Amino acid sequence: MNLEVEKIRNVAVIAHGGAGKTSLVEAMLFDTKATDRLGRIEEGNTVTDYEPEEINRKITLASATAFLDWNGYRINLIDTPGYINFIEDTRCSLSAVDGAVVIVSALSGVKAETEKIWKFACMYEIPRLVFVNKMDKETASFEMALDDIEKSYGSTPIPLNIPIGAEAAFEGIIDLINMKAVTYQNGNMKEGAIPDSLKAEAEEYRKRLIEKIAELDDALLEKYLEGAELTTEEIRKGIREGSITRRFIPVVCGSATRNMGIQQLLDILPLCLPSPIEKANITPIKGKNPKNGEEVVRKPIQSEPLSARVFKTIADPFAGKLTLFRVYSGVLKADSTVYNSTHDSKEKIGHIFYLVGKKQVPVSQVGPGEIAAVAKLKDVQTGDTLSDIGNPTIFDPIKLSDPMISYAIEPKRGDEEKVSTALHRMLEEDPTLKFHRDTDTKEMILAGMGQVHLEVTLEKLKRKFGVEVMMKTPKIPYRETIRIASSAQGRYKKQSGGRGQYGDCWIKIEPLPRGKGFEFVDSIVGGVIPRQYIPAVEKGIIDALPDGLIAGYPVVDIRVTLYDGSYHTVDSSEMAFKIAGSMALKNAAQNAKVVILEPIVRIEAITPDEFLGAVIGDLNSKRGKVQGVEPQAGGNQKIMALVPMSEILTYANQLNSLTSGRGIYTMEASHYEEVPSHIAQKIITQKEEAKKAEA
């Protein structure tokens, strides 16, 4: 289908969870006859929340696309998640659009998640239009929402319409561009004159609108100051200029669930948000030639070489992998071959289709500015660039946050291989998930953006791939070491008729600096132990290290010196000296003051100023050591600290609670430190109880 690029609008609907994004998309699709019924979240029959996990929880967990046609415009919509655990998916979707409709609740205003998503939109230089939703609900306040928008976003909100009434008395809106009232009765829309009681208020809001528009253009400003009226066309042109250049935030209002103000939003949307061509003028489509590294600039026209980027992957056990992409230049045709610039491979394109929720609408080709999907690509992942084989380009990858929380997972039926295969399919769908096997604890570790994120992932594993797993707090990879030097003998003697077993060695153990691992020193002189048995002593000691000395954790940072011993010409063997070596280690450890070491992580937490004290206090309570605090942009503070890993396994949940969801953090392994004695005793006791339980 050939669409005029100037008539395309690619729009993400963004906001915090529960603001009404899915309900708004549903109303927009219904009003444009893209669907024949108005779905409801409560009934679980909306177009874009179709996954069972979304229907059960009544929240959006993953971005979903749809499209509609309105007054000659093709509007591609992406309904995005708003809950903190899932907003990295929203970040991916914002990389594929040219504009956004931001929903602000007339009840709760701007919440923390919306602030984060707003920052993502700023990163991609996306023009925005605000829809103040839920004007029909109790305690709804349009003025409160406007104040919150200005306070939170630091930009002037300019209403293009205002509500007629509020709460149960919400009847419709006043169109400030055309100065008319639009009211709703029994689902029917009617245009008419502005009620006398609201004329003064409407005139005041219109005056603010015109003043803001006049500020953008010297000729209009002069005309306004001379007292002349601006024409409707001049007002519309000014709104477009101010919105697309992000000089102000246009605001409209309504109720998504009662389908009020939706058609006015649809009328305003193409005016306030840019086409792919206009967005390319704001932010040029830049990539690099993967072969020589030179910068490549593409224009959103059909005659340019193909360039497209994958912004989402859906794992489907039946249809295979679905790849969603945005075409930036050129034309992508069905049954063609494209070049995956990211992985230097060719991909065969089969059927192309638009997605309306889970419904597939086949299409033979897609051009600049279009959003579409294709099934069963081999090596394509989220963020990959698809381009023309003869004229390739590669776009910057989509940057995502690191996982915030990790849990150990254990298959209920013991099929680890099946779990691993299914999880890797899920990782294709969700790049914010990380999975690995811990070599120290032998556990399978799944990391994600929060506990709910991981719970949803495991639900999908069961539904899509028939794999059931349990989620447990991961084991802490403690270590053991010694504090002082000690010497001891290891003597193994066994006589049972015929040839016996004999091995005898003396060793000295000494502590090494942190991170030095293990050293073995051979100081045997005079042949008291034959040379062929010395490696056996070393191997016996090395084999004993993983079993620990007091609590069963691997021993590290230790030097072992073999300095004396004896042997039997007939009964000595490598096995006997191997056993003697392990016995000597355990005997020497009794006087070496064995201690337990715990892993320390380096954490950087960013929090708004008002929560700084609470976050630092919480880190101190976790035995953390704050290394410094640095001011950040936007009234935030960055806290650098070293904290024991055992204290911070579920920190994502705690930081969210402390900062009302506005804090973020990253962490990485730093070093090992000695565990305080009272905590060490608890660890030893727990280990002993676990052994008894296993027995």
Q: Write out pLDDT tens, residues 582-593.
A: 999 999 999 999
User: Has residue 171 got a pLDDT over 60?
Assistant: yes
Q: What is the mean pLDDT of the chain?
A: 91
At residue 491, the pLDDT reads 96
For the stretch 193-250, pLDDT in tens is 999 999 999 999 999 999 999 988 888 888 878 788 888 999 999 999 999 999 999 9
Angle at which helices 232-244 and 196-215 cross, to 10°: 60
- The least confident of 274-278, 311-315, 470-474, 506-510 is 470-474
Euclidean distance between CA atoms 469 and 408, whole angstroms: 10
What is the arithmetic mean of pLDDT over 410-435? 86
CATH class of 285-387: mainly beta
Q: What is the pLDDT of residue 2?
A: 65
Whether 114 shows a pLDDT value over 90: the answer reads no
DSSP state of 432: T
Kindly state the percentage of the chain with pLDDT values over 70: 98
- The class (CATH top level) of 597-678 is alpha beta
Rounded to the nearest 5°, which phi and psi values hold at 439? -70, -25
Q: How confident is the model at residue 634 (pLDDT cuts 50, 70, 90)?
A: low
CA 166 to chain centre: 36
**SS3 per-residue string spanning 607-631:** EEHHHHHHHHHHHHHCCCEEEEEEE
pLDDT confidence of residue 633: 63
* Model pLDDT, residue 550: 92
pLDDT at 433 over 90: yes
Name residues whose C-beta falls within 8 Å of residue 666's C-beta, 6 or more positions apart in sequence. Answer: 401, 402, 603, 604
Backbone angles phi, psi at 387, to 5 degrees: -150, 180
Every domain of the chain and the residues it spans: 5-282, 285-387, 405-472, 479-592, 597-678
Confidence of residue 458 (pLDDT cuts 50, 70, 90): very high
pLDDT band at 672 (very low <50, low <70, confident <90, very high): very high
Q: Which residues pair with 131 in a beta bridge?
A: 103, 252
Contact 250, 268 (CB under 8 A): yes
Strand partners, 480: 555, 596
Mean pLDDT (whole number) for 346-359: 95
- Over residues 364-408, the pLDDT tens digits come to 999 999 999 999 998 899 999 999 999 999 999 998 887 877 888
**How far separated are the first and last CA of the chain, in Å rounded?**
68
> Would you state the pLDDT for residue 1?
53
418 has pLDDT over 70: yes
Model confidence at 421, pLDDT cuts 50, 70, 90, reads: confident
Task: Determine the topology of domain 5-282 in CATH.
Answer: Rossmann fold (3.40.50)
Which pLDDT score is estimated for 33?
Answer: 95
pLDDT of 567: 96
pLDDT at residue 179 above 60? yes
Smallest CA-to-CA distance from 592 within 546, 643, 625, 557 is with 557
Predicted pLDDT of residue 651: 86
Q: Taking residues 446-459, what's their average pLDDT?
A: 88
- Rounded to the nearest 5 degrees, what angle is found at the Cα of 193, between the Cα atoms of 188 and 195? 95
Domain 479-592 has CATH 3.30.230.10: yes
**What would be the CATH architecture of the domain defined by 405-472?**
2-Layer Sandwich (3.30)
In CATH terms, are 285-387 and 479-592 the same topology?
no
> How much is the pTM?
0.78
Q: Which band of pLDDT confidence, cut at 50, 70 and 90, is reported for residue 174?
A: very high
Average pLDDT over residues 305-331: 91
| DSSP secondary structure of 293-334 | --EEEE-SSTTSPPEEEEEEEEEETTTEEEEEEEEEES-EET
Distances (CA, A) of 397 to 95, 97, 382, 400, 452: 10, 15, 9, 9, 26
